A and B are shown apart, each in its own frame.
Chain A
Amino acid sequence: MAPQEMDVQRALELLHMSVFSQSVSPCGKYLAAGNSYGEIGIFSLSAALSAEAKEESKKPVVCFTAHDGPVYALTSTDRQLLSASDGELKAWNWAEIVKKGCKEAWSRRPPYRSSLEVPEINSLQLNLKDNSLLLAGGDCTVHAMDLETGVFTHALRGHTDYIHCLALRDQFHECLSGSEDGSVRHWDLRTGGQVQAIEVHKYEECSRPQYGKWIRCLATDSDWMVCGGGPALTLWHLRSVTPTTVFPLAPAQHHAMFYQDLILCAGQGPTIYHLQLSGDIRARIPCSPPALHSLCLNQRSPEHKVLTAAGSSHKIDVFTNFGYRAFSLAFA
């Protein structure tokens, strides 16, 4: 009776699982994915991509419970995997994870003011220039942490609602944050001050009041920025602070990234869009989850260069050729 019960329980969990975050190991052979039950699954890309890949090799090599809450963000340094959940940042040594031992290396809690509710960490951003980590989430603040010492150096305050996403302009020592309050704020990391705030929902071109004003995704490339969410996905020129292109995508977008001369983005609906900077939709790539939360491009290992897409499903779609779904990794 008990195993059967467990099976049904797990089947239900899988059915309602969401995968919020992904990160590729420094060697580029493994993909870590964090789901809504606080589990991190490590998938072997090299095994799944090899010619003799079986159904088994598309299941996680290791799967461990990292947090009590959902794993909202993952990132990898050259040694460690950093995972963030409700008010908590944990580090795991890649070398140990791969060898199937998964003890946390360290954990930190950003200094929070309120105690009634533990704010979540929605985004992690690694700043390699000064070996620091930016994290932001429920407390409307961007925290900067020195990875060497583990000390929280800055707290960038200004948002009035929780922060969804971060983007780094490391050549300018600046960072961008997108928030539920509908603004994208631009911070100077050296001084810790706000450079400017763009209230996206106030621009008529991209505002969509029926969806809300929240900014869910943000990506930047030199002077350009793309952001979306409640408002339509829009390409901005940062120096002049003007929306240059509004992309004609009806559903709210959850993740956007620059790739060569294209923008890849995904959101509500089982589709990944390839957009041209001019505003044309170059391709609509179908995928399996009904909504996508994260895209991850593996650039650390040329032979395993794939795009993975995760969302409201226990499946993670893998695109070897960006034009179509090759197969899906899946939690088990």
Chain B
Amino acid sequence: MTAVSTRVCYTLQPLPVGAVAGTQMSSDSSKKRKPKVIRTDGAAPDGKRSKADAEQDVKYYSEETEVDLRDPGKDYELYKQTCEELQRLMAEIQDLKSKGSKDSAAEIEERRIQSCVHFMTLKKLNRLAHIRLKKGRDQTHEAKQKVDAYHLQLQNLLYEVMHLQKEITKCLEFKSKHEEIELVSVEEFYKEAPPEISKPDITLSDPHHQTLARLDWELEQRKRLAEKYKECLTSKEKILKEIEVKKEYLSSLQPRLNSIMQASLPVQEYLFMPFDQAHKQYETARHLPPPLYVLFVQANAYGQACDKKLSVAIEGSVEEAKALYKPPEDSQDDESDSDAEEEQTTKRRRPTLGVQLDDKRKEMLKRHPLSVTVDLKCKDESVLHLTFYYLMNLNVMTVKTKVTTAVEMTTPISAGDLLSPDSLLNCLYPGDHGKKTPNPANQFQFDKVGILTLNDYVTELGHPYVWVQKLGGLHFPKDQPQHTVTADNSLSASHMEMTMKLLRTRLQSRLALHKQFASLEHGIVPVSSECQQLFPAKVVSRLVKWTAITYEDYLELSYTKDIVEAGLAEDTHLYYMALIERGTAKLQAAVVLNPGYSSMPPVFSLCLTWKGERTNNNDDNIRAMESEVSVFYKELSGPKPGYQLLTNQLQRLCVILDVYLETESHDNSVEGPKEFPQEKMCLRLVRGPSRMKPFKFNHPQGFFSHR
């Protein structure tokens, strides 16, 4: 006990020292110390020893509560003082020890005791601090838990709110099916509906009930209509059955009629009335696609009415056509099928893209199995065979041509292109080359399968001339890229006569040229007796060469530039080169033959090689010679329809070359006789400012004058 009390004393003792060191804080610290002391005292009756073993719980408890009573700031001050005290004591002990005096042992002992007390204080403080920390942690934890709970609650509530709001909007947005039903108007409803449904006393004031009532009325009406529909169906079926019966009767009639027809055939033959044949043709014609049908009908009509030498026939397999057109939906199915097939093929044959494109192209350029042939006979029994095809997928018509002549003709080399199916019908109408597709929609189709122009396929398919489309009643306006094209009879009819006449003229003019070329190649310019008066009896210049040249060759000639620039030479025209000679003078004539010959004149460009090269560029007289044949061609046309124009032009060229050479002024300073003595009778040798030579021949008198 004494030990304890002394310890307490000790603990108390240093305090004033600390207070002294701590200066102002002394009074506070003393106050604090007191309760602690008291408490220790309070615990003291139980004994400090007992604290060590028996009374630990109580002590712990007291310390717990003590924590609440003490001010942590003051404890901190105490802690500082204690530490200082300890430091001081330690320093003193060290001093004493270093002095090494004997009496110092006691003093050291005393100081040790004091420092032990201080250690106790420190320990106590440490404990207190731990307890405080623990308490603080507990409190924080508790508070946190509470907050979490509240937060959770809040979340739940929010969610609930949201859900409720959604429900509300769902309810608000709800659409009843009845809104889609078209009801009769309110007035009508009250007028027509029986009062037991309309119940005007209730519904007039309550829109909800009103709607219900209207719906009831609607249901009522619909039921009635459904009944009516059923009735109609049954009557329809009845009628269908009747039709079937009648059809059966009709089909039984057909064989009978056939047998009658068969029986009548000999009679028809006997009477020269080919009704049956025509009938058969009409039968086949039914399977023609619309444009060919229009063409067939119109050509037939025109042939019967105006042109007995025109014959029309249908060629090709009717079976295939039938297969193509059997039920009208088939075509659609076909398309979808082919689409599906195409898809399959793309999957299957991806590596061979080229083959697949080729197939697509073939499909696109497919012709209708039936074709219409029109044979135009001319007076001399030569025939122009025209075969018209219809390209189903492109919706254009094409034509192939062939000429058979009455007499076998030897083909002159230069006449190669004259009757060739490629160029025979070129520009039948101005600008109609038959190389581009007239249907603007086709270009888009071509783009898909990689066809650049139809031109590459023209030899195989035939030419899609615009007039062919018109004969088939197809009209493609230029400004509209896509539109439905239907075969129009009136369009076809309006073009039939003109086109047939043009075709015949074209054939005849080509045949005439064909014949003329044969003799031209032998250097003979055929002049018919009717045209004899256009030329003098004696013509010395001779045609020595007549050859066909290509467009490119023509362009390269130096003296054709003006003609090309004037747009009179296009690649669809035919080009020839004539060489006329007299003595040392050679006259080259490049000839452009317009496909529209002979209504369009051939155009001549001249180049005279005689004492230098003379063309229209350096000699006005050469220019005049050109105009003499190219511009004043009308007087050379000969008897109608003017097929002798070309030969007459050539003959005139020979004549005026004579005139040119004979009237060329002689240079007296040069020795020797004139190469070309003047044999032609001329009134005057030169005339006018441009010193023209007399190129105009006056028939009965036989002299030359100026134009």
User: Is the pairing of A and B real?
Assistant: yes
Tell me if A216 and B689 are in contact (CB < 8 A).
Answer: yes
Q: Is the interface of B mostly helix, strand, loop or mixed?
A: loop
**Shortest distance in angstroms between A252's beta carbon and chain B's nearest beta carbon?**
9
Q: Which of A22-30, A40-48, A114-122, A301-309 contacts B (4 or more CB under 8 A)?
A: A114-122
Given contacts A72-B689, A268-B618, A116 and B683 within 8 Å (CB-CB): yes
Select A138's contact among B429, B600, B687, beta carbons within 8 Å.
Answer: B687
Residues of A within 8 A of B707 (CB): 69
From B429, B623, B683, residue with most partner A Cβ within 10 Å:
B623
| A52 touches B (CB below 8 Å) | no
**Shortest distance in angstroms between B646's beta carbon and chain A's nearest beta carbon?**
15
25 of the cross-chain contacts (CB-CB < 8 Å) are A1-B430, A1-B599, A4-B596, A5-B600, A11-B567, A12-B601, A12-B603, A12-B627, A15-B563, A16-B623, A16-B626, A18-B620, A18-B690, A116-B683, A120-B687, A120-B688, A164-B689, A180-B686, A210-B669, A212-B665, A216-B691, A254-B689, A269-B618, A291-B690, A312-B620
What 16 additional pairs, Cβ within 8 angstroms, besides A12-B630, A290-B616? Answer: A4-B596, A8-B594, A9-B601, A11-B567, A16-B623, A16-B631, A18-B623, A72-B688, A117-B683, A117-B684, A120-B687, A138-B684, A180-B686, A209-B668, A290-B617, A291-B620
**Shortest distance in angstroms between A200's beta carbon and chain B's nearest beta carbon?**
16
**Shortest distance in angstroms between B206's beta carbon and chain A's nearest beta carbon?**
80
Tell me if A162 and B687 are in contact (CB < 8 A).
Answer: yes
| B667 touches A (CB below 8 Å) | yes
Interface residues of B in 260-281 (CB under 8 A from A): none
Residues of A within 8 A of B684 (CB): 117, 138, 162
Given contacts A1-B430, A5-B600, A15 and B686 within 8 Å (CB-CB): no
Chain B interface residues toward A at CB < 8 A:
429-430, 562-563, 566-568, 594, 596, 599-601, 603, 616-618, 620, 623-624, 626-627, 630-631, 665, 667-669, 683-684, 686-691, 705, 707
Residues of A within 8 A of B430 (CB): 1, 4
Residues of B within 8 A of A268 (CB): 618
Residues of B within 8 A of A5 (CB): 596, 599-600
| A92 touches B (CB below 8 Å) | no
| A293 touches B (CB below 8 Å) | yes
Residues of B within 8 A of A319 (CB): none
Complex Cα–Cα for A293 and B687 (A): 14
Tell me if B669 and A209 are in contact (CB < 8 A).
Answer: yes
**Shortest distance in angstroms between B123's beta carbon and chain A's nearest beta carbon?**
116
Complex Cα–Cα for A20 and B690 (A): 8
| A262 touches B (CB below 8 Å) | no
**Shortest distance in angstroms between B649's beta carbon and chain A's nearest beta carbon?**
12
Residues of A within 8 A of B631 (CB): 9, 12-13, 16
Given contacts A180-B686, A214-B691, A12 and B617 within 8 Å (CB-CB): no
From B429, B603, B618, B690, residue with most partner A Cβ within 10 Å:
B690
Interface residues of A in 133-176 (CB under 8 A from B): 138, 162, 164
Residues of A within 8 A of B688 (CB): 20, 70, 72, 120, 122
Tell me if B566 and A11 are in contact (CB < 8 A).
Answer: yes
Tell me if A209 and B563 are in contact (CB < 8 A).
Answer: no
Residues of B within 8 A of A209 (CB): 667-669
| A14 touches B (CB below 8 Å) | yes
Tell me if B683 and A20 are in contact (CB < 8 A).
Answer: no
**Shortest distance in angstroms between A287's beta carbon and chain B's nearest beta carbon?**
13
**Shortest distance in angstroms between B622's beta carbon and chain A's nearest beta carbon?**
10
From A72, A116, A290, residue with most partner B Cβ within 10 Å:
A290
Complex Cα–Cα for A254 and B689 (A): 8
Residues of A within 8 A of B566 (CB): 11, 14-15
**Shortest distance in angstroms between B213's beta carbon and chain A's nearest beta carbon?**
77
Closest partner residue, chain A, to B431 (CB atom): A4
Residues of B within 8 A of A164 (CB): 689
Tell me if B617 and A16 are in contact (CB < 8 A).
Answer: no
Chain A, 292-317, contact with B by CB distance < 8 Å: what is the 0/1 string?
01000000000000000000100000
Residues of A within 8 A of B686 (CB): 162, 180, 214
Chain A interface residues toward B at CB < 8 A:
1, 4-5, 8-9, 11-16, 18, 20, 69-70, 72, 116-117, 120, 122, 138, 162, 164, 180, 209-210, 212, 214, 216, 254, 268-269, 290-291, 293, 312
Complex Cα–Cα for A210 and B611 (A): 11
Closest partner residue, chain A, to B502 (CB atom): A1
Select B690's contact among A14, A212, A293, beta carbons within 8 Å.
Answer: A293
Closest partner residue, chain B, to A270 (CB atom): B617
Residues of A within 8 A of B568 (CB): 8, 11-12, 15
Tell me if B689 and A293 are in contact (CB < 8 A).
Answer: yes
Total number of A-B contacts with CB less than 8 angstroms? 90
**Shortest distance in angstroms between A247's beta carbon and chain B's nearest beta carbon?**
20
Select A16's contact among B627, B667, B683, beta carbons within 8 Å.
Answer: B627
Residues of A within 8 A of B669 (CB): 209-210
Complex Cα–Cα for A319 and B688 (A): 26
Complex Cα–Cα for A18 and B619 (A): 13
Residues of B within 8 A of A122 (CB): 688-689
Residues of A within 8 A of B429 (CB): 1
Closest partner residue, chain B, to A268 (CB atom): B618
Residues of A within 8 A of B665 (CB): 212
**Shortest distance in angstroms between B431's beta carbon and chain A's nearest beta carbon?**
8
Residues of A within 8 A of B616 (CB): 290, 312
Residues of A within 8 A of B599 (CB): 1, 5
Tell me if A8 and B689 are in contact (CB < 8 A).
Answer: no
Complex Cα–Cα for A117 and B706 (A): 9
From B568, B620, B626, residue with most partner A Cβ within 10 Å:
B620
**Shortest distance in angstroms between B256's beta carbon and chain A's nearest beta carbon?**
55
**Shortest distance in angstroms between A250's beta carbon and chain B's nearest beta carbon?**
12
From A9, A12, A116, A290, residue with most partner B Cβ within 10 Å:
A12
Q: Top 4 A-B pairs ranked by shortest CB distance? A: A16-B627, A4-B430, A209-B669, A290-B617
Closest partner residue, chain B, to A255 (CB atom): B689
Tell me if B667 and A290 are in contact (CB < 8 A).
Answer: no
Residues of B within 8 A of A214 (CB): 686, 691
From B429, B665, B689, B705, residue with most partner A Cβ within 10 Å:
B689
Complex Cα–Cα for A216 and B669 (A): 21
Given contacts A5-B600, A8-B601, A291-B620, A210 and B687 within 8 Å (CB-CB): no
Residues of A within 8 A of B683 (CB): 116-117
Residues of B within 8 A of A16 (CB): 623-624, 626-627, 630-631
Residues of A within 8 A of B689 (CB): 20, 72, 122, 164, 216, 254, 293
Residues of A within 8 A of B617 (CB): 290
Closest partner residue, chain A, to B634 (CB atom): A9
Residues of B within 8 A of A9 (CB): 601, 631
Complex Cα–Cα for A94 and B684 (A): 35
Complex Cα–Cα for A291 and B686 (A): 17
Closest partner residue, chain B, to A85 (CB atom): B688
**Shortest distance in angstroms between B506's beta carbon and chain A's nearest beta carbon?**
12
Residues of B within 8 A of A212 (CB): 665
Residues of A within 8 A of B600 (CB): 4-5, 8
Tell me if B627 and A290 are in contact (CB < 8 A).
Answer: no
Complex Cα–Cα for A268 and B619 (A): 8
Closest partner residue, chain B, to A16 (CB atom): B627
Complex Cα–Cα for A32 and B665 (A): 34
Residues of B within 8 A of A269 (CB): 618
Closest partner residue, chain B, to A214 (CB atom): B691
Complex Cα–Cα for A216 and B690 (A): 9
Residues of B within 8 A of A11 (CB): 566-568
Complex Cα–Cα for A117 and B686 (A): 13
Closest partner residue, chain B, to A3 (CB atom): B430
Residues of B within 8 A of A72 (CB): 688-689
Closest partner residue, chain B, to A73 (CB atom): B689
Tell me if A312 and B601 are in contact (CB < 8 A).
Answer: no
Residues of A within 8 A of B687 (CB): 120, 138, 162
Complex Cα–Cα for A11 and B562 (A): 11
**Shortest distance in angstroms between B472's beta carbon and chain A's nearest beta carbon?**
21
From B617, B618, B626, B687, residue with most partner A Cβ within 10 Å:
B687
Complex Cα–Cα for A221 and B531 (A): 55
Residues of A within 8 A of B623 (CB): 16, 18, 312
